A and B are shown apart, each in its own frame.
Chain A
Amino acid sequence: MEFLGILSFLIFFLIQASFFSLTSIGLNIQWGFTGLFNVGIAGFFAVGAYTTGIMTGPRYAETWFGGFGLPVPVGFLAAIIITAIVATIIGYITLRLREDFLAISTFGIAVSIQLVANNLDELTRGPEGLYSLPKPLSNLSDSPLVDNALYLVICVVVIGLVYWAFERILRSPWGRVLRAIREDEHAAMAMGKNIFIFRLQAFVLGSATMGLAGALYANFIGFISPTDFLPIFTIQIFVMVIVGGSGNNLGAILGSVVMWAVWSASDSLIAAVVSPDFQTQAAAARIVLIGLILVLMLLYRPQGLLPEKHVVSAAGRMKLKGEE
């Protein structure tokens, strides 16, 4: 019994960590590889979650759209497409301009999405949120433990596929252009690369990944409401990517698992140690701490735990050996 309890907690923890990991991989292609600053991560995650909620959820009495009850994979696909469309619009408008306009605009889109989630009752049911979203493979057994184990398998497969695909494209000439843009956009431009198109592709790809992560989250928890997508989520993802090492996808996953463990542990610690009267203060103190970690990392270890591997082409390696 004891063992089963630990196992079920571990599975639950890993499933949650995988939502963060997938989002972190999405941010990594934007921030880590291309140097794009997206402040609207929570917004893109929310778009994915609400899209699958509307596509796969039941029909609610008060909404005038949605409740299609479609299969979950369709919901996931729709989440990717809708998030990609939103990202394309934002990216098309701002990626030609100075870099901080992207930051301001992504901040704006996250705020606006939060407003829509909170107020457009006809679509999102406002603060009450969407509930009873279907969980895939949950009709195979009666045991919640098996359900969750199967869902963990889905998460691992999705992350594995995304990781594999991203590693491939990032090693390709396309990925080299992204890094070239990050290091020196004028040099990349001088080599005849259309940096706007590359930036847009990286931005849309990363945001769509965040949308997929949101969908994965929505269909696991089964209930989504606006408070799931607050700006703190954006900071958490940044901390995970920076702690893990920006520009390294394994680092992004490692950072996500480590930081989520720290977050959950502090959660239990606060619940156990702090008296109920001071719980809200303790929660605020914990958020202050997350901000502090971000600032300290930027100051003292911007390369993270697992720094980016410097890729040298085969020809370059041979030349280096020859010089030794």
Chain B
Amino acid sequence: MQFIADGILNASLIALGALGLSMTYNVLRFANFAQGEILAIGAYFALGAVTVIGAGVGVMGPIKFGWPLLVSIPVGIVCTAIVVLMVDYLVFRPLRNSNASRITLIMAAFGLSLMGRNLIHLFAGGDPKYFSFYIPKAIEILPGVKMVPDDLAIIALSAIAVVSLHMFLTRTNMGRMMRAVSENPTLARINGIDLKMIIRMTWIIGTALAVTAGTLQGHIFQAKAEMGFDMLLPMFAALILGGVGNLYGTVLGALVIGLAESFAVYFDLSAYRAAVSFMIMLAVLLVRPQGLLGERE
């Protein structure tokens, strides 16, 4: 049973990152290979904010990360979003305007991902960084299942983020416009939707989700330059497994991938975690390429 609890924690982080990936995939229409670096850069900005506030202050009862971490997430989101919007302006906007193919966009993202990782190496060094140094104490939540209170809080935070995204996309005008653009950009434009604004919003939301995932992941484990790159394959696998374009599918996909990964750890195959998500992805592409909840194109 323990591995199910671990798997759900893992899945909640994958889900956040994959939802961000899904936003850029559906609205901007390309697989953003730099999503992992958005996640990592965000985690480093948040780490900076936590360090400024002072680690260890603001402990809230059994949850050790306290308010500094909650404050650092929006700080990380704002800083990272500025970087991401600048990169979009300098790289992706000109490529879109010159009608570059989808593959050219992916390739640019792949190059930017490499740059992002090494810029972290350059400015923050190659050693892993820690948000805190206390040793967490697990409590028994069900017979035989132990979890750290922080981890429970993180699962709850992720659930809140997913529900807010759902509310945003279905209940607000901006969300509806975004969905319209993802369905049919030309038709959306004819109806007077400002594409440029939608593109910026998409980047911001995708960044917000990635930075949240990165910061929480950094808190549980550590922050390092490759943290996002290592998450990329599970995130893509969740996206494809759930069905590209279906946000609920992405959450479901993340759940399956997260559980499968902790299953692999359970069977002492932790070294092959990333390969597990790849195998699931290949199997899905072979049997049901539209994903679990996706519709056939």
Interface residues of A (CB under 8 A from B): 35, 37, 39, 90, 93-94, 96-101, 103-105, 107-109, 111-112, 115-116, 118-119, 231-232, 234-235, 238, 280-281, 284-285, 287-288, 290-292, 294-295, 298-299, 302
Contact of B94 among A37, A291, A299 (CB under 8 A): A299
> Binary interface profile of B, 95-109, with partner A (CB < 8 Å = 1, else 0)?
100001111101110
* Partner pick for A281 among B121, B274, B275, CB 8 A cutoff: B121
B94 touches A104 (CB 8 A): no
Q: Is the CB of A291 within 8 A of B30?
A: no
A232 touches B278 (CB 8 A): no
Bound Cα distance A104, B229 (Å): 13
Residue pair B114, A290 in contact (C-beta under 8 Å): yes
What are 22 residue pairs bridging A and B, where the CB atoms are less than 8 Å apart in the complex? A93-B286, A96-B289, A97-B289, A99-B103, A100-B31, A103-B103, A104-B281, A107-B232, A108-B233, A108-B237, A111-B274, A234-B110, A284-B119, A284-B122, A285-B122, A287-B114, A291-B112, A291-B115, A295-B111, A295-B112, A298-B100, A299-B95
The reply to whether B111 and A111 form a contact with Cβ atoms under 8 Å apart is no
Docked complex Cα distance between A116 and B278 (Å): 13
> For residue B272, which residues in chain A have a CB less than 8 angstroms away from its CB?
112, 115, 119
A108 vs B119: C-alpha distance in the bound complex, in angstroms?
24
Q: Is the CB of B107 within 8 A of A37?
A: yes
Contact partners of A109 in chain B: CB under 8 A = 278
Cβ of A280: which chain B residues have Cβ within 8 Å of it? 121, 126
Check B271 for interface membership: any CB of A closer than 8 A: yes
In whole angstroms, how far apart are the Cα atoms of A101 and B294 in the complex? Answer: 15
Q: Is the CB of A101 within 8 A of B240?
A: yes
B141 part of interface (Cβ distance < 8 Å): no
Question: Which residue among A101, A107, A115, A284 has the maximum number of chain B CB atoms within 10 Å of its CB?
Answer: A284
B281 / chain A contacts, CB cutoff of 8 Å: 104-105, 108
Q: Are B102 and A100 in contact (CB under 8 A)?
A: yes
Q: Does B274 contact A288, Cβ atoms closer than 8 Å?
A: no
B236 CB contact (under 8 Å) in A96, A108, A115: A108
Instruction: Kindly provide the distance from the CB of A170 to the nearest chain B CB, expressed in whole angstroms.
Output: 20
What distance in Å separates the Cβ of A8 from its nearest Cβ neighbour in chain B?
Answer: 32
User: How long is the Cα–Cα vector from A284 to B226 in the complex, in angstroms?
Assistant: 13
The docked-state distance in angstroms from the alpha carbon of A132 to that of B236 is 39
CA distance A234 to B119 in the complex (A): 19
B238-279 near A? 1/0 per residue, CB < 8 Å? 001000000000000000000000000000000110110110
Are B115 and A112 within 8 A (Cβ)? no
Distance in Å: Cβ of A206 to nearest Cβ of chain B: 15
Docked complex Cα distance between A115 and B277 (Å):
13
Q: Tell whether, in the assembled complex, residue B278 and residue A288 are in contact, meaning their CB atoms are under 8 Å apart.
A: no
User: Within residues 37 to 87 of chain B, which ones have a CB less than 8 A from any CB in chain A?
Assistant: none
Query: Number of B residues whose C-beta is below 8 Å from A?
Result: 42
| Contact (Cβ within 8 A) B95 A298 | yes
A284 with B107, Cβ < 8 A, contacts A291-B114, A295-B112 known? no
Tell me, rounded to whole Å, the shortest Cβ–Cβ distance linking A212 to chain B: 24
- Given A100-B106, A298-B104, also A115-B121 (CB < 8 A): no
Q: How far is the CA of A108 from the CA of B235 in the complex (A)?
A: 11
Question: Contacts of B132 on A, CB cut-off 8 Å?
Answer: none
A281 to B286, CA, bound (A): 43
In the complex, the answer to whether B271 meets A37 with C-beta atoms within 8 Å is: no
Distance of B154 from chain A, by nearest CB (Å): 25
A108 partner, pick from B107, B121, B282, B289, beta carbons under 8 A: B282
Check: B91 CB closer than 8 A to any chain A CB.
yes
Measured between alpha carbons, how far is A177 from B294 in the docked complex, in Å?
32
**Nearest B residue to A96, CB-CB:** B289
Taken together as a complex, chains A and B put the C-alpha atoms of A104 and B106 apart, in Å, by 10
Establish whether residues A294 and B107, one from each chain, have CB atoms under 8 Å apart when the complex forms.
yes
Is B131 close to A, CB under 8 A?
A: no
Q: Assess whether B106 is in contact with A37, with CB atoms less than 8 Å apart.
A: yes
Asked if B285 lies at the interface with its beta carbon under 8 angstroms from chain A, I say: yes
B-chain residues with CB within 8 Å of residue A302 when the two chains form the complex: 100, 104
Residue of chain B at shortest CB distance from A294: B111
Of A98, A99, A290, A295, the most chain B CB neighbours within 10 A belong to A295
Query: Given that A231-B114, A299-B95 are contacting pairs, would A94 and B122 also be in contact in the complex, using a CB cutoff of 8 Å?
Result: no
Name A101's contact: one of B232, B277, B285 (CB within 8 Å). B285
Q: Which residues of B contact A96 (CB under 8 A)?
A: 289
Query: In the bound complex, how far is the Cα of B232 from the Cα of A111, in angstroms?
Result: 10
Name the A residues within 8 Å of B240 (CB-CB).
Answer: 101, 104
Among B95, B233, B282, B289, the residue within 8 A (CB) of A111 is: B233
